[in-house]
């Protein structure tokens, strides 16, 4: 299920042992946290950026969209480049690009300059984050340690967004929006320095094992066009608009050409054999669906707190802290024990069900809702569900992956998360806005119309995550109990 000791022969080693490996893990997670924080930190600062640089409401979206297009479009390619050129090389290069682009963002004095810098940030973010999970599973080949390490990573990857809400509010209100980017300079430099010191340079397979330029162009173009379609024409013009349909058709055509290319190439960029694993395929489908539900709800839940309950940016960040704390406690301290005791599939299903319950409960939050009564229980359930299921999901996504494909699998799970989040946000936001507009036109009070729109999006998000539960229960069903769940004697021996 988890990476074996064979991985160590072809992947980065750690300079030293024991404590050094955990320091290396924290270094990798620091790089991931910087990337994850960036998205929500920028969202909080958007009003200040708009006032300072004179963005219109429509053009302001490109501060986020430029990043998402580059990030989502390059994750899969970046993961494979890690396998070919060395994962530490790609990780450090990504940090350098992201850090330099962050400084450029901080000094941006025009709309064009900021959008261009944000696109470059997305390139650096993809290079950095795509290889992290692959590096972690090879640094920790022993099942118990690997489960614990993945728990730490999953907490950073999933809960970092809510930390960003708080950090963005503090930096924007206390100093200025420029500092949400400048703060990345010392963090990026320190993380790169520690990575070079703690993780030995790995050679990778070499470009001869996967130099597939046409495949790289096709998949990168397909993902970039796909993400662009979701965040721009679909969100602004609607899903049935001619431009949305045309770009959607182009995306599917590019993906079809990519599959044909990879099935015939002598050295494919993405060997299609990797999808023969039912566990890996199921984990990526679950990742896409759960990301669609969770990311959209954090965004729309923030809008509910802001527009209906009247919270400011800092109060919203504080409101989401319980989710972060609960998720952190479970991911870091207990996820490894749950995976070792029950196997990864059962915690995954249990966690997803808790998320569904939380989302259903959120549909009952009223106009004059109380944080303690109507919001806090939801956030605690989301924290419990995320803390239980996401570490298990990360482990399953790397199950049965060959050492030479670890970077590819890591980039793949990141790609499905990113595309799923973008698609979920676009769908849920569109449904919410349409419902709100319809009720407002019919004469409903503004707050009632807004709340009803949010309720619809919460209900649809619950249905999306419920679909992930169905996939986890069916597609990811083990061939035999022994194949995926530790025997009682093995658990006792490991304990």
- Per-residue pLDDT, 477: 67
Pairwise CA distance, residues 411 & 210, whole Å: 15
The answer to whether the CB of 413 falls within 8 A of the CB of 284 is: yes
Tokens coding 220: 């990168």
In a 3-state reduction of DSSP, which class is residue 14?
Answer: strand
Most confident by average pLDDT, 27-31, 198-202, 297-301: 27-31
Q: What are phi and psi of 267, to 5 degrees?
A: -125, 80
Higher pLDDT, 308 or 167: 308
Whole-angstrom Cα distance, residue 248 to residue 234?
9
pLDDT score, position 461: 92
pLDDT of residue 7: 39
- Residue 489 has a pLDDT of 36
Which residue(s) pair with 14 in the sheet?
199
Taking the CA atoms of residue 441, residue 442, residue 447 and residue 450 in that order, the dihedral angle to the nearest 10 degrees is -70
Predicted local confidence at residue 2, as pLDDT: 41
Calpha distance 119→124 (Å, rounded): 9
User: Average pLDDT in the 417-439 region?
Assistant: 82
More confident residue, 332 or 5: 332
pLDDT at 370 over 60: yes
Is 174 or 413 the better-scoring residue by pLDDT?
413
pTM of the complete model: 0.77
Lookup: tokens for 360: 């259903």
Higher pLDDT, 470 or 226: 470
The confidence band for 488, taking pLDDT boundaries of 50, 70 and 90, is very low
Q: What does the alpha-carbon distance between residue 61 and residue 46 come to, in Å, rounded to a whole number?
A: 9
State the average pLDDT for the chain: 80
- Contact present, 407 and 387 (Cβ < 8 Å): no
Residue 43 pLDDT: 72
Share of the chain above pLDDT 90, in %: 20
Bigger pLDDT: 316 vs 474: 474
Question: Mean pLDDT across the stretch 411-438?
Answer: 81
Q: Is 166 exposed, middle or buried (0-12, 13-18, 19+ CB in 10 A)?
A: buried
User: How many whole angstroms separate alpha carbon 214 and alpha carbon 268?
Assistant: 10
Q: Which two tokens stand for residue 444?
A: 């409903």
pLDDT for residue 20: 82
């Amino acid at each position: 299920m988890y990476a074996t000791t064979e991985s160590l022969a072809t992947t980065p080693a750690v300079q030293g042992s024991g404590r050094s490996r955990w320091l290396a893990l924290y270094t990798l997670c620091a790089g991931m946290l910087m990337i994850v924080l960036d998205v929500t930190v920028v969202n909080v600062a958007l009003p200040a950026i708009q006032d300072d640089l004179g963005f219109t409401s429509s053009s302001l979206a490109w501060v986020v969209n430029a990043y998402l297009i580059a990030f989502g479009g390059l994750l899969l390619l970046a993961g494979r480049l890690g396998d070919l050129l060395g994962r530490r090389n790609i990780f450090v290069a990504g940090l350098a690009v992201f850090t330099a682009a962050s400084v450029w963002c901080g000094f941006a004095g025009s709309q064009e300059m900021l959008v261009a810098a944000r696109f470059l940030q997305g390139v650096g973010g993809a290079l950095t984050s795509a290889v992290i999970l692959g590096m972690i599973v090879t640094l920790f080949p022993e099942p118990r340690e690997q489960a614990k390490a993945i728990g730490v990573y999953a907490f950073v990857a999933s809960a970092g967004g809510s930390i960003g809400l708080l950090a963005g509010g503090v930096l924007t209100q206390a100093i200025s929006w420029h500092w949400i980017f400048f703060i990345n300079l010392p963090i990026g430099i320190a993380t790169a320095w520690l990575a070079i010191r703690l993780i030995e340079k790995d050679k990778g397979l070499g470009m001869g094992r996967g130099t597939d330029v046409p495949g790289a162009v096709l998949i990168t173009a397909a993902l970039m066009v796909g993400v662009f379609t979701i965040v721009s024409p679909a969100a602004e013009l609607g899903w049935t608009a001619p431009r949305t349909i045309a770009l959607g058709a182009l995306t599917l055509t590019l993906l079809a050409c990519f599959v044909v290319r990879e099935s015939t190439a002598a050295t494919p960029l993405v060997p299609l054999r990797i999808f023969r694993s039912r566990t890996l395929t199921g984990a990526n489908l679950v990742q896409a669906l759960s990301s669609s539900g969770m990311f959209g709800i954090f965004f729309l839940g923030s809008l509910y707190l802001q527009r209906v309950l009247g919270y400011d940016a800092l109060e919203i960040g504080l409101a989401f802290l319980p989710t972060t704390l609960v998720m952190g406690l479970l991911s870091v301290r207990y996820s490894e024990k749950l995976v070792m005791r029950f196997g990864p599939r059962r915690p995954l299903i249990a966690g997803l069900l808790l998320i569904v319950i939380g989302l259903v409960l959120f549909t009952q939050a009223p106009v004059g809702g109380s944080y303690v009564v109507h919001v806090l229980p939801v956030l605690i359930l989301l924290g419990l569900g995320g803390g239980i299921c996401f570490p298990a999901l990360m482990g399953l996504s790397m199950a049965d992956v060959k050492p030479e494909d670890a970077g590819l699998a890591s980039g793949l799970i990141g790609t499905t998360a990113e595309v799923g989040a973008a698609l979920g946000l676009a769908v849920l936001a569109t449904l919410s806005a349409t419902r709100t507009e319809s009720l407002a036109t019919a004469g409903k009070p503004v707050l009632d119309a807004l709340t009803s729109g949010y309720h619809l999006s919460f209900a649809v998000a619950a249905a999306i995550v419920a679909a992930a539960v169905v996939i986890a229960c069916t597609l990811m069903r083990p061939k035999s109990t022994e194949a995926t769940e530790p025997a009682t004697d093995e658990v006792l021996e490991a304990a």
